Structure 1
Amino acid sequence: MFDAIAYHDEGRSVTYKEMLENADRIGKRVEPRSLVLFVATNTGESLEGYLGFLRNRAVVMMAASSIDADSLEALLEAYKPEYVWCPDSFGYSSDSEKSYGRYRLCETGMTGEAKPHSDLALMLTTSGSTGSRKYVRLTYENIRANALSIVDYLGISPGDCAITTLPFSYSYGLSIINSHLLAGSSLVLTEKTMFDREFWDLVRARSVTTFGGVPYTYSMLKRLRFERMDLPSLRYVTQAGGRLGRDLHEHFARLCAEKNIDFIAMYGQTEATARIAYVPASRSVEKAGSVGIAIPGGELSIRDESGGEVEAPDTAGELVYRGPNVSMGYASSRIDVSRGDDFGGVLATGDLACRDEDGFYRIVGRMKRFLKIYGNRVNLDELESMLAVEGIVAACSGEDDALRVFVEDGDPKSIQSIVSEKTGLYKGAFDVRLIDALPRNDAGKIQYSSLEDLC
C-alpha cells in the first residue's frame, strides 16, 4: 500500500509513503494537544498538514479559504489557536512562521486558557463558510467510525480514485477524503470546477471512478448535458448536502443506471461527522426523494413532540440518529474545547421526517431556521446578526439554494454584495428585497410567515 499513489496534485503523483513522511514532517512542528486554525484548500500541502496534525494529536480547526478578515479575527480572538496553517496567498502572517511548499505554518503567540479534551481531534463549522464561531467537536473515533461505514456501504476499494468537487473544509468534502484514504484509494486534488474543461480532462486522464456533489452540482450537471459525457472510468457518484428533489433524484438515478454508474443519494449532518443515511443504488429510482436507510453501525428513529418513538409508517416527527459517529457537541470559544461528550451518541437532527413501510426515511421539513445554499448550511439567525453588525436590519427566509433577505432601507445590490462577502457564497444565491416595513408582532418579533406572503 505504501508504494501506491495517494494523491495527484498539479501533475505530481505522491505515494502513501511520501505523503505520510511529508505529513509527519509538518505535524512534528506543532505541540501535541495544541489548536491549529486550518485554512483549507484542495491541495497536497493542505492534505498533508491535515494528516500531520492529526497524527501528532494536535486539534484541527477547519476554516474555508474564503473566510473574510473580520470573521478570521473573530475566530482568533474566540479560540486563541497556537498555530495557523494557511496558503501563502492567504492574508495572515506572524513573526514566527515556516514554509512548506505553497503553505505556511504560523505561530500566533497566543495561549489558550483550556487544553483540548483528550478525545478531541477535529472541529468543523456548523454553517459552511459564513465564518460562524460555532463549531462541532469531533473525536478520533467519530472520524474513524464514519469513514469505515462509508467505505462499507459504498464498497470503496484501493482501485478507486476520487476527484475533489467540494471544499476540504466542508464535512461532506472531508468525508470523501477520509474514506478514500482509509480504503487505500487515490485522490485527485484540484481547485478546478465542473465548469472548467481541465476538470473533465483530469477525470479522464486519471481514470477517476467517483465524485460527490450537492444539489446545485447536479442541477449544473444537467445543464452541462451529463448524459453526453464520455467518462468510461466512472463507477459511482454520490449526492448529499441538502434535499435533491424527487424529479432531479429520479433523473440522475435513471441516467446513471443507463450509463452503468451507481447513483447514491445520501443524508448527513456535521454533528454526525458527515453521513447518517443513504439510498442504495439498487433502489435509487424506486426511492427517489428519500434519504434512505441508516448507514452501517447507525440507527434512525422518529420521535413525536412528547419525546415518544413514532412506530407508525408515514407519520412525521423529528428524525433522531444514534451511532459512533455522533460528535461530542458544540464549541463557541476556547474554553469549550476541553468539554467532554454532551451528546452521548444521540443526535436530534432538527429535521422532520417520516418512514415508509420499507423502512426508508423521507425529510418533510425543518424544525430549525437554516437553509442549504450550494451545500453550505446557512443559519438564518446568524446571518441576520452579521448584517446587524453592519447596521443592516434584515429578515431572512427562503428555501434551499434560494435565500431571501428582506430589508427596510439600503441599496439591495450593495447588501447582496455584503451577504456574499460574509458567507463566501455566490451573489446569485441571495435575493435582497426592499420592503416598506418588516412584519412584526406586538412584542416586536418578526413574523416570518408573513414574509412569505410578500413573495
Structure 2
Amino acid sequence: MALFTAEPGWAGRTLCVSDTGLTLTYGDLDAFAGRFAAGAEGRSLGFLLCENTPGVLLAYLSCLRLGAVPVLLDAHIDPALLAELTAAYSPAWVFLPGDVPQESRDSLGPTEGVLAEYGCALLRRTGAVSPALHPDLAVLLTTSGSTGSPKLVRQSRANIEANARSIAEYLELTDTERPITTLPMNYTYGLSIVQSHALVGAAILLTTHGVLEGDFWRFFLKERATSLAGVPYTYKMFHRLRLTGMDLPSLRYMTQAGGKLPEELHQVFAQWCADTGRRFYVMYGQCEATARMGYLPYQNALSKVGSMGIPIPGGSFRLTDDSGAPVPEGEVGELIYHGPNVTMGYAACAADLARGDDWQGVLHTGDMARRDPDGYYYIVGRKKRFIKLFGNRVGLDESERLLSARFPEAEFACTGRDDLMTIFTDSSDPELPQAAIDYLSGVTHLARSGFSVTAVDAIPKNEAGKTLYTALPTNP
C-alpha cells in the first residue's frame, strides 16, 4: 500500500482505464514520474488544472511521489481567477489538458513547454521562482465554496496518507475495486476516491461524461465499475434516472458525501442496497480535514437514516457550546473533530506556504450537530447559517432540508436577514410559493410575514453540486 513511493510488484497492475480506451499501469506511472520530475524541477509549486483524464491522474500521483506541490484547480477555471491565483502564489510550473482555453493560458504569463504527453502539457513559467514551501506541505486545494477567493487549504503528506488509509479501512477496499469518476479530481471528495483506491493498487475508471449521459453508463457496464459516489445533487439525478431499476451487476457499494442527503433519498438507496446485497455509506467531511471525518457503517444505513455516522478510524468528535463547554447528549452543539487528517490550515498568499501546522489536529467544523444515545451524529446545519425570525433562531440549512422533503420535485436555497427568510426555488408551480410559506410557518410556529419565496430558473451550484449562495439574486 503506497501513495508516495513506487510499490514493488505493482508495475503490471492496471492503474486506470479511460473512456477513450486507454489503459495505463502502475509501471506507466513509474515511468511518467521520472519524465515529470525533469520538467517540474524537484520540490516546487505548480498549478495542476484538473479533469478526469489519464494525463492529469499521472501528473497528480507523480507530484505525490516527487515532492512537487500542486495547487489543484478546475481545468476550466475562470481566466480572471486563474490570473489572480497566479499573481498570489507565483507557481513555477503549470500542468494542463489540451482543451484549456487560450485565455486561461495567457493569464499564466510567458511559459515554455517542457513535456507533452497524454493530451496534456507541462509548462514552465518563464522567470518564475517557486515560493518557499514548508517541508510537510504536499497539496493545496480550494475550499469547496471558494469561487472567487485565493484562499487555499494546506494538506500535508501525513494528512493525505492517514485519511486514505482510514477510508480504505472502513470501505474495506482491495485491489479488485474499479471506481468510476463522478466527481472532479480537484474537489476533495473526488480526490479522496483517487487516493484511497491508488493506495490499495486498484484500477480507476476515468470518464469526463456525467451521470445523465448514456456514454457514462455504457462505460460503467463495459468496464465493470464496482462503486458509485455522489453529492446530494448526484443522488437526486440517480433517483430521476431510476438507478434502482438498472441492471448493474458489477456494483458493490455506493458512497455519499458533500452535504446532507434528504432522508427520503437516504431511505431509498439504503433499502435498495440492502435488498440487493450492496453496501451504502453516508459520509461526512471537509477539505479542511483532507476529506473524511465521519461515516455511517452500511449495516446501520437503514436504522440510522439521517445520520452521518461515527468518527472514521483514527478520529474523534466532540460537541461544544459557544463557550467551548461540552453539550449534553441529544442537544445541539458545534462539532469539533480531532484526527491526523486535520490539515495544516489556510493559505492566502505565497508567504503562507512556508507556515507550519496551525491547527494541530483539531478542526472546528462550523457544523452544528447532535449525538444520539448510540454515539451516532446528526448534522442539523451550519453555525453561521442561522437567522433570527421574530427573536427565534432558525437554521437556513434545516429549512432547506424540510422544504426539499415536503416538495421533492423542487430545488430550494434559503438566505435572509433577521426577520425575513428568502426562499429561492426552481419550481414553476404557481401554487408552490404560498404552500412553502404555509408549510414553514406551520413547522416553525412563526408568522407567514417572516418568509418570502422567489422563483429562479435554476439554483446555482458549483462543480461539486453545492449551492452558490453568492450567485443568487441580491434583491429578490
TM-score by length of 1: 0.82
* Runs of 4+ that moved beyond 6 A: 370-373, 395-402, 424-431
Distance 1:126 1:245 in 2: 23
Give how far 1:115 is off: 0.5
Secondary structure in structure 2 of the residue aligned to 1:36: strand
Tell me what 1:179 maps to: 196
Cα 1:50–1:359 change in 2 (3 A) is same
Deviation at 1:309, TM superposition (A): 2.2
Q: Which amino acid aligns with 1:250?
A: Q
Distance of 2:423 and 2:345 partners within structure 1:
27
| Aligned with 1:249 (options 266, 271, 294) | 266
Match of 1:313 among 311, 319, 329: 329
Residues 289, 341 of structure 2: 8 Å contact kept: yes
Matches within 5 A, 1:147-296: 147-296=164-313
The 2-side partners of 1:340 and 1:428 are apart by 32
Matched, 1:46 2:56: yes
Q: Is the 8 A contact 2:44 2:130 kept in 1?
A: no
Task: Verify the 8 A CA contact 1:33 1:115 in the aligned structure 2.
Answer: no
For 1:67, the equivalent position in structure 2 comes to 77
Match of 1:11 in 2: 21
The Cα of 1:85 is off from its aligned counterpart by 0.9
**Paired letter, 1:84:** V
Structure 2 distance, partners of 1:178, 1:427, is: 22
Would you say the 8 A contact 2:426–2:457 is kept in 1?
no
Q: Could you tell me which of 36, 40, 45 is aligned with 1:30?
A: 40
Q: Tell me the C-alpha RMSD between the 2 structures.
A: 3.0
Amino acid at match of 2:334: E
Segments of structure 2 that go 5 or more residues without pairing to the other structure are: 1-9, 387-395, 401-413, 428-453
Where does residue 368 of structure 2 map in the other structure? 352
Aligned residue among 108, 124, 140 for 1:107 = 124
**1:400 shift after superposition:** 11
Matched residue SS, 2:40: coil
- Preserved contact between residue 235 and residue 262 of structure 1 (Cα < 8 Å): yes
Q: 1:62 to 1:254 in 2, by over 3 A?
A: same
Task: Determine helix, strand or coil for the equivalent of 1:115.
Answer: coil
Structure 1 residues 401 and 138 mapped into 2: Cα distance closer, same or farther (>3 Å)?
farther
Distance change (3 Å), C-alpha of 1:151 and 1:401 = farther
Q: 1:122 to 1:97 in 2, by over 3 A?
A: same
Measure how far apart 1:129 and its partner are.
Answer: 6.4
Determine the structure 1 residue equivalent to 2:6: none
Change (3 A) 1:209 1:356: same
Q: What is the CA distance between 1:269 and its match in structure 2?
A: 0.3
Equivalent residue letter for 1:355:
R
CA contact (8 A) 2:155 2:343 kept: yes
Is the 8 Å Cα contact of residues 72 and 131 (structure 1) preserved in structure 2? no
Give the alignment partner of residue 76 of structure 1, picking from 73, 76, 86.
Answer: 86
CA distance in 1, matches of 2:250, 2:344: 39
> Is the contact between residue 67 and residue 424 of structure 1 (CA under 8 Å) also seen in structure 2?
no
Distance in structure 1 (CA, Å) of the matches to 2:61 and 2:37 = 8
> Measured at CA, do residues 71 and 155 of structure 1 come closer, stay the same or move farther in structure 2, by a change above 3 Å?
same
Deviations 1:175-231 (A, max 9, x none): 000000101111100101111111111111111111210000111111101111000
Q: Which moved more, 1:128-137 or 1:273-282?
A: 128-137
Does the Cα contact within 8 Å between 2:281 and 2:297 map onto a contact in 1?
A: yes
Once the two structures are TM-superposed, the CA of residue 127 in structure 1 deviates from its matched residue by 3.1
Identity across the alignment (%):
42
- Report the secondary structure of 2:238's partner residue: helix
Change (3 A) 1:5 1:46: same
**Quick check: 422-431 or 353-362, which moved more?**
422-431
Paired residues of 2:71 and 2:140 also in contact (CA < 8 A)? yes
| 1:19 CA displacement | 2.1
* Paired residue type of 1:315: E
Cα displacement (A) at 1:357: 0.2
**Counterparts of 1:222 and 1:85, CA distance in 2:** 36
- Please state if 1:134 is matched with 2:173: no
Cα offset for 1:397? 7.1
1: CA distance, partners of 2:144 / 2:426: 14
For residue 416 of structure 1, report the CA deviation from its aligned partner: 8.7
Give the conservation status (yes or no) of the 8 Å contact 1:27–1:49: no
CA distance in 1, matches of 2:222, 2:146: 31
CA 1:202–1:113: 2 relative to 1, 3 Å: closer
**Aligned residues of 1:28 and 1:52 also touching (Cα < 8 A):** no
User: What is the rounded CA distance, in whole Å, between the counterparts of 2:33 and 2:48 in structure 1?
Assistant: 14
CA distance in 1, matches of 2:243, 2:84: 42
Q: Which amino acid aligns with 2:21?
A: G
- Tell me which residue corresponds to 1:97: 113
Q: What CA deviation, in whole Å up to 9, does each residue of 1:426-445 have, x standing for no partner?
A: 9997784474xxxxxxxxxx
Aligned residue pairs total 404
Deviations 1:76-126 (A, max 9, x none): 011111111111221316441132231111112354584110000000101
Q: Which amino acid in structure 2 is aligned with residue 333 of structure 1?
A: C
Return closer, same or farther for 1:350/1:47 CA change in 2, 3 Å cut-off: same
Deviation at 1:350, TM superposition (A): 0.3
Instruction: Find the counterpart in structure 2 of residue 145 from structure 1.
Output: 162
Q: Does 2:135 correspond to 1:118?
A: yes
Unaligned runs of 5+ in 1: 374-379, 382-394, 403-411, 436-453
